[in-house]
Amino acid sequence: MQKVKGNDTRQRHGIVYTAVAFLAWGVLPIYWKALGEVPAIEILAHRIVWSFVFIAVVLTIQKRISIKELLSDKRTRKSLFLMSGLIGLNWFTYVYAVNSERIVEASMGYYINPILSVILGVVILKEKLNLLQVLAFLLACAGVLYLTVDYGRFPWISIVLAGAFGLYGLLKKTTNVDPMSGLMVETMLLAPIALFVIFYQALAGRGALFGLALRHDFLLIGAGVVTTMPLYWFAQGAKRIRLASVGFLQYLAPSLMLLIGVFVYREIFTTAHLISFGLVWCGLILYTVSLIRGSEA
C-alpha cells in the first residue's frame, strides 16, 4: 500500500514538473518580445553565455562538473559538438520568429516536432512505425503543404525549429549524458562565438548590455535562468511519468505560443492557417493515441 502511495506521489510530482516546464516554454515569447529592440543574434549570444554561467555555477555548487570526462570519449564529444550547433540554430530561429512577428509559425514547428521525431527514429534508429503514426505523419505533411500552397510561403521557421529540435532530441536519446551537464558543454562550445558577437556589438557602439534601459540588462542576464530552468523541470518530470503523459503535456507549449501570437500580439491567423493547423492537430491526436496504446501494451 505504501509503495502504491509512493508511486502516486512520484507521478503527481512528475506531472507538475513536466507541466511547469512546458508552460514556461509556452510563455517565453513574452520574454523575448520584451527584448524586441535587441537584434536576434545578440539575444542568442547572451542566451548562450548566461546559460553557460548559470549552469556552471549550479553544477559547481552540486560538485557535478565533469567537462573533461564528457569530452574524453570521441563519440560523445562529436555528439556534443553537433548538439551545440543544433541548439544554437533552434534558439536563434525561435528568437527571430518571436521578434519578427511569426510566433504562429513557430508554434506550428513545435506541433510538428513530436511527429518528426518519430520519423527520425525510423530513418536513423530503424524503429518501426505503426499505422497511426504513418497517418499522423501524412496529416502533418498535408498541413505544411496546404499552408505553403494556399498562403504562398513555405513555413521555413516551422521546419527549421522542428528539424533542429528533433535532431537534437535524437542525439540526446542516443548519447548517455546528463541533460544539465550536456547543456553546459554545448553552451561552452558556443560561448567563444557568442562572446565575440557581444564584444563586437559593444565596440561598434550597438551593445545592448548596459547600452539600453536597465530592464534590458536584467532580461539579457536572466536569459540563462529562463533557458535552463524549464530544461531542469522537464528532466525531473520526464523520469517520473510515462512517455504517453509527456507526449500529451508537450502540446501545452505550442498551444500557449499560438494563443499568445494571435490574441496578445495580434498576428494574422487566416483560414489557410486554420485548415493547416487542423490537419496537424488531427495528426497529433493520432500520434497521442499511438503513445497511449504503446504504454498500455
Residue ranges per structural domain of the chain: 2-296
Confidence of residue 296 (pLDDT cuts 50, 70, 90): low
pLDDT digits (tens, 9 = 90+) for 198-211: 999 999 888 888 88
The tally of CA atoms less than 13 A away on the side-chain side of residue 68 is 0
Q: Could you tell me how far CA 126 lies from the centroid of its own chain? A: 24
Q: Which residue has the higher pLDDT, 73 or 84?
A: 84
Q: Which residue has the higher pLDDT, 295 or 288?
A: 288
Q: Which residue has the higher pLDDT, 290 or 262?
A: 262
pLDDT digits (tens, 9 = 90+) for 107-148: 999 998 888 887 887 888 787 878 888 898 889 889 888 888
C-alpha cell at 231: 530544461
